[in-house]
Structure 1
């Protein structure tokens, strides 16, 4: 009898624990997980990954794009914004998906093999020193004792970027063909104007556009605004139809864990630790609660990643398969560097998504006059 009772106890305990067991549902082709190193350039890594999946979708072949080529193009524009606003703006390593698309439209694309942004002996990106030098330089130009801005500041910024990242690319060979960055872009099939960014906040009327006031939106990019349920529908529709999705999201929650490979929102804070390994009830996220958490700074613009599919746990709950850019070290990153993000986490913490306009559901596209 004691043995039977003990077995029943073990069975009951196992049932209550409900450790995660995931099965893939949708899996969209993407390039391998890599690391952004000690940089704040997730915006370029994630959006480049997104464009790599788009090239696979459009052309049927993987191309490893240079993240640092885009970073090299955007820094002078960040610097000009900071200089002309006399230091009353943010100058940092951050950016957004539309900054990559802007760079692609204006400066084209190059492969990683042509521009890797590393010195010969370097194996990992580290922009700590570079950003400190640039910040000090720009502040000195703004605070110039001569009280007159030197026209040489652009040359100085370019020189620093050349030293740390590499000189600009004009022409290169790839697979036996000579390209410029713009002709390489044409070969990939990417049309930057075909991509849209969608968000969900009560700051502006739904089904309109507005400039989202977050620190990394230095370029004042516009976003389409839709109700929260439509934001989920837009994302799901894209994935169901073979389109991956770029994601801007808050990762500051203790229940976002790359070590455990999950991002979840427990209904009770008492479950903050347990929910990283066990299925626990999650909070119901409303539009009002989402807005409240954004306005009180509990939800901030932290990190950009790339949604490449969906999974289900053993109870049928759906999670987004999110490709991160923090590497694949198993001690720090579970699931080979992917995060399994619950719908509740997405609803509360997603700042915006970027996707091909053809991935929008027709009903939403019509309301957006697209």
Structure 2
């Protein structure tokens, strides 16, 4: 009896183990092995604010400070955001409210903002003067735009000159929400102004350039990228798609991170899996029966099959024209900024993933980091910011850069 019971228990355990193995294999998901990691500062949390452009670019500059041998530091995002709101407001009123006034921005807003206003550490200016521990703009953005729209409407309707008070009034609102701006501060035993603090950082802000790749402007020229958040009308260098990808790869190989502007509204972008892919049905490797079955699926069923994120599969080959069409049709929008800081392979040995630091807090499955396939980056990049020293020499020559 005892031997029979032991045999039955052993059989049950074997069946259970077999079932678990089969289940794991059928839904293996994505498993990544990092192949190149560039040091960065800690993952941040933009929380309820549309300021990814600032978080990602300051993380980029913080990694540049590390690369130059400087200390790890947390630069104040809200210092840049607050100044950006004021600069943006002046242009919005000057343009009679016909440009975009919102929370969004671009990488050059940060570098140009530091040039114009200096920078301070986060400890000096958290910019959270409205009762929360993290950024929350749900009220702030509405208040700011309503104020500016009232100024513009009144001026247009009256035909009179604007008052001398509107800028002071707007600045006072910013002071209440972000806190007054310090003229001097002490950091690690030394006294600084925002300008002198910026000047002592081991980076040269003139080294940072924006790159993109579109066919509606000539290659190897600069153009004002036509996205709503480019309120500053900043320019990007235009290169062919393969050279844009070469720039990213070369920068990472040389130990430089890349500030990345992209579109995360795609079905291939999974918030729960923390990956971004551009899947395509691999009909060539299907057997006749499988191909026939695939052909009978509805478009909805095919889409569900492609976006299960259950295991690595074939991805689309991205062309210059695909990028252009998606941009022209509003399928590619400038809706998020992150930091490319490494490369990785998947369990199938595919060597085409970029590891990316996000600003959505330290969350699973990768503690605030994400993995994006090379096709996703090629397809959905709106622009990148890099240190011009990280450019391949031949591409730098074509752009007239030294």
| RMSD, aligned CA | 2.2
Mapped partners of 2:19, 2:69: distance in 1: 56
Mapped partners of 2:20, 2:51: distance in 1: 47
Mapped partners of 2:335, 2:151: distance in 1: 29
Match of 2:159 among 137, 143, 147: 147
Q: How much has 1:168 moved relative to structure 2?
A: 1.5
Q: How many residues align?
A: 364
Match of 1:135 among 121, 131, 145: 145
Q: How much has 1:182 moved relative to structure 2?
A: 1.3
Mapped partners of 2:130, 2:24: distance in 1: 53
Residue ranges of structure 2 left out of the alignment (5+ in a row): 1-13, 282-302
Would you say 1:314 and 2:347 are equivalent positions?
Answer: yes
- Greater Cα offset, 277-286 or 208-217: 277-286
Mapped partners of 2:117, 2:311: distance in 1: 47
- State the TM-score, normalizing by the size of structure 1: 0.93
- State the TM-score, normalizing by the size of structure 2: 0.86
Residue ranges of structure 1 left out of the alignment (5+ in a row): none
SS at match of 1:188: coil
Mapped partners of 2:20, 2:239: distance in 1: 47
SS at match of 1:335: coil
Match of 1:35 among 28, 45, 70: 45
Larger Rg: 2
Mapped partners of 1:131, 1:9: distance in 2: 53
Would you say 1:201 and 2:214 are equivalent positions?
Answer: yes
Residues 125 and 186 (structure 1 numbering): CA distance in 2 closer, same or farther, change over 3 Å?
Answer: same
Q: Who is 1:175 aligned against? A: 188
Q: Who is 2:95 aligned against? A: 85
SS at match of 1:110: coil
Q: Who is 1:325 aligned against? A: 359
Counterpart contact for 1:40–1:93, Cα < 8 Å: yes
Q: How much has 1:59 moved relative to structure 2?
A: 2.7
Q: Who is 2:391 aligned against? A: 360
Q: Who is 2:369 aligned against? A: 338
Would you say 1:282 and 2:315 are equivalent positions?
Answer: yes
Q: Who is 1:304 aligned against? A: 337
Mapped partners of 1:168, 1:335: distance in 2: 36
User: Deviating runs (4+, > 4 A) in structure 1?
Assistant: 6-18
Would you say 1:115 and 2:125 are equivalent positions?
Answer: yes
Mapped partners of 2:357, 2:368: distance in 1: 7
